[in-house]
Structure 1
Amino acid sequence: MALDWLMQLGAAALKLFIQPIFYFSFVLAFIVGMFRVARERKDFGTRIYDIYQEIRFILPASLAVGAVLSVVTITAGLAIPSGMLNFIAAVLIIFSIGGFFLLSPAWTMTAAYCIFVLSEWVNVSFIPYKNLGFEAILTILAIVTALLMIVEGVLIKKRGYQGTSPRMETSPRGLKSAVHLARRLWLVPVFLPVPSSRPLTSFADWWPVIDTGAESYSFILFPFLIGFSMTVRSTLPALAVKSTGRSVIGTGIITLFIAIGAYWVWQLSAAAVLFAALARIAITRRHYNYEKHRPYFFTAQEKGMIVAGVLPASPAQKMGLEIGEVITKVNEVNVNNEREFYDALQKNGAYCKLDVIGTNDQIRFVQGSIYENEHHELGLIFAPEEKEYMDQSVFND
């Protein structure tokens, strides 16, 4: 039996590479990277990250959580008909047109659930599931939705804040400010049992936990697309993104408890997916309202210059400078704008010493070797100087 299961899992893993959605995810990430690079060049005169930045985040972290989720789905025998999985893939592709933001499982899986139910109510069954139990499939969909939401929250909390992209934005007062855009696409491959004519010997009498009425099963490695997009204006990106991740995890756990209840009362599956969708909207709305009533974080400072971005592999990154830190002195010279900053750098052609107020409000000293022709290649992106833009707005009036 063990050998049969391993062979089935191995065959399913190889079939991942014939899934169109697998390749679609990389194309989508590449296109988004192209637009991001163009925007960064327009805003700052240079790209912050290369065009492959979004592609780098697609798989590494999601493979681990996908493996954990696969253990759950295989152990519980959460079997979804292949026709339903094909329809979910179509929903994921359609929703991706609206951007990463719409690829939360709370919305994609709920949409698939609702369309599946409506198609049955109006007797237009274009999602083939043979003669399997309709109510059992709904229960499984709700449970998988909850599990994917937990996965989404974990990925947001652990990876969503890494490599955020700064961008320029005009404040309500007409002043230029820097904000950070956290945008990620993850491909989460999950092993799922599917009803099949190929017999798969059960390892226990209770497997699968939720009986769909199928007599035999095989495995498929299905790639779920999970997207995340969030603009952070009033605080450090890491703080806002991690907070959102924790909220999504909590929502996923509550959704899971409701969905498990559908094992006894199948109507709770509808309550579970609707709760997931509404709660995810509430999380997004809460962040929007929080940002709406707070001042911009990356703006001109009374003293020093706030770091809005650090270029990868730059001297600034090697010195350990981080987003959100404030540089108050360069080579013992007070600085309050970019001209003063680079003039102070040129006072020493071999190295620079910076007085920095860290994100923990503690003062620290940073120094590193530089060369005379690298003064303007330190790799720092600063928040725009308000005075400059105020003068321009007066002139334009």
Structure 2
Amino acid sequence: MLRATLLGVFLVSASAAFAAEPVRPLPTKVTLGDPSLTMGIPGAGDLTPDQIKAWLATPGVNDTLEISLPFGLAQAASQIAGVKENPMTRAKIELGRQLYFDPRLSVDSTVSCATCHSHTTGFAANTQFGIGIKGLMGGRNSPVSYNRILSSVQFWDGRAATLEEQAVGPIANPIEMGHTHDACMTCLSAIEGYKLQFETVFGPKSMTIDNVAKAIASFERAIVTGPSPYDYAAALKPFTDNFKTKEDLDELKEDSPETYQKYLSVKAEADAHPMSESARRGMDLFFSDKANCTACHAGANFTDEKYHNLGVGMDAKIPDLGRYEISKDEKDKGAFKTPTIRNVEFSAPYMHDGSQKTLEEVVEWYAKGGHPNPWLSDKVKKLDLTVQDKADLVAFMKACSGEFPKVNSGRLPE
């Protein structure tokens, strides 16, 4: 009996000590793409108010994050937009994740942000045009929602000055979500789980459309592409360009052991994420004057974030004038924003009107010099490309694909 009593005391004491052990705060230094930012509150099923309260009480959840970009995109760190004005926290990203996937933002609870920007279809849609409530169809292809942290103005025509403005625009669009902002907030305000989160993340009386915008934008900024085979090849290239022979490498090993070890590390990564010979030829073409792809697809995210007329759709009876409708500048007629090449293989069809079903068609379009019209970009010229050249360019674009962050589309407030 004494042994049993002592054992009971020990177990109770141990349990109490374990329960009293402080919970480690979640780290505030994060690299975007970390699944802990986008996978949602751990568990399964609809989120209960008690689960949400427990999550919001987790140390570090409400702290401002010190973010960095993954290898490859890290070179574009100076382009990060909107984070100073709308600091990122885990709680805000998680609230944005829920809103992004919640069809209750639409008037008939059938359409969410993810309907046209799904993680299952490259964060875009595989339809020619976006499809909203009641099957209503828009007039443009759904742009991708990843790597948006590197872009200030949004949409094909740049009509949204910020990612926040873009995030809530579709809610009130009659052929997208079909709600009014006021009616959307009335709907969200009736959901206890959302009320808890808005009050914690933004403060009392904070259930406003502006804060919906901030939360969704924070989640979208957390969606970035991981390193691609191209990134590893590009990191290795300075070594292979400067140390071409075994003798060169032996000399490097002797004169600069640290640099030699760096070379070995970079080479191991490149070997583990290989590019095909076709992709390597395509890389050389992509950056050459012959193809001149970097005239528009420049920088770490392979986009100049500018608007160009490629002649796409300009043979229509009433062509879409794109950026011109916003700027009213004659030179912008038929001009649309340059999309990123990263992970582009997953977001077919292509161009602002979804008229080109494959990357092969896209390359053919550029090769023929687009479609002539008075506002055709001076960067679009006929290209002297062989059949092999075209295949190599497609192979290179596919070698610019990295992993998407893991995303949980479920776990919404009950």
Higher helix share: 1
TM-score scaled by length of structure 1 = 0.26
TM-score scaled by length of structure 2 = 0.25
Higher strand share: 1
Q: Give the number of the structure with larger relative contact order, counting CA–CA contacts within 8 Å between residues 6 or more apart.
A: 2
